[in-house]
Amino acid sequence: MTVLPSSPRSPLKLGLLGGTFNPIHNGHLAIAGEVRDRLQLDRVLFIPAGDPPHKEDRSLAPAAARYEMVRLAIADTPSFELSDIEVRRKGKSYSIDTVRTLKQQVGPTTDLYFIIGLDAFLDIHHWRAPLELLQLCRFVVVPRPGHSYRSLAAISLLPPLDHQALAQLDRGAVPRLDISIPSCQTIICLSISLCPVSASEIRQRVRRGQSLANLLPPPVESFILQHQLYQEDTDRTDV
């Protein structure tokens, strides 16, 4: 990862987009690009997850392969960068450890924007040190199929929310909703187009020998076929 320069006059805005990227696809890139443009981020940092300590899911490609696919996918986009912080970390990786390390690297004058799907954010109260995470970075929540922003009202970490405003966000009647929490950074909920592509669908198509056209960048498709990834896929659903 390139450590971004910062200026006391204008804090840099760095988006963080983590995931298994198994594989990275056009939906990931579209979300990163739209969030970057909507929030005027200077950079979006892609953070592939490492290998789990006791790997049982054969659908998960090795971390080195997933890292390389992300590198290929973002190579032509200067505002997208890649970090190996979780790939290099041994054992179980927690988001709080990653954010703490990145905060030290980029310094206090860089604002962090943690980009996350609504489905994952709804489980944040089960994460390690969730309040500290909310203090260290702004969360940017994007919609996910089968999930409603109205579900945020059930999260105990959040203040009472306006159900009508959440319903408007679900309908796309408002472009965003900002949620303020005392002593924490703002949570930004965006209304953006739902991603029609899923990694599990791509893996199934690879296994069946079906076309991958318009689902992922051509260099990523070439890498998958060249290295015969996802040929024996005991699949599970993910993004």
Ranges of each domain in the chain: 12-198
Higher pLDDT, 57 or 142: 142
pTM comes to: 0.92
Q: Taking Cα atoms as reference points, which of 37, 43, 100, 120 lies closest to residue 77?
A: 43
Q: Is the pLDDT of residue 192 over 90?
A: yes
pLDDT at 233: 54
Write the pLDDT tens digit of every residue in 17-31: 999 999 999 999 999
CA distance 99 to 214: 33
Percent of the chain exceeding pLDDT 70 equals 91
pLDDT at 143: 96
Is the Cα torsion angle 217, 218, 220, 224 positive or negative in sign? positive
Homologous superfamily, domain 12-198:
HUPs (3.40.50.620)
- Average pLDDT across the chain, whole number: 92
Q: In sequence order, which residues have a C-beta less than 8 Å from that of residue 238 and are 6 or more positions away?
A: 20, 22, 198, 199, 200
Residue 23, preceding bond cis, omega within 30 degrees? yes
Q: If you ran DSSP here, which 8-state letter would residue 7 be given?
A: B
pLDDT at 62: 94
Q: Taking Cα atoms as reference points, which of 102, 124, 123 lies closest to residue 113?
A: 102
CA distance 175 to 172: 6
pLDDT at 197: 87
CA distance 92 to 52: 6
Helix, strand or coil, per DSSP, at residue 110: strand
Q: Is the pLDDT of residue 7 over 80?
A: no
Could you tell me where the beta strands, DSSP code E, fall in 20-174?
43-48, 80-82, 110-117, 138-142
Q: Is the pLDDT of residue 2 over 70?
A: no
Average pLDDT on 107-122 reads 96
Write the pLDDT tens digit of every residue in 137-159: 999 999 999 999 999 999 999 99
| b/e sequence 157-183, b meaning 16+ C-beta within 10 Å | ebeebeeebbebbbeeeeeebebeeee
Q: CA Rg, the chain, in Å?
A: 18
pLDDT at 102: 97
pLDDT at 6: 47
CA distance 207 to 12: 42
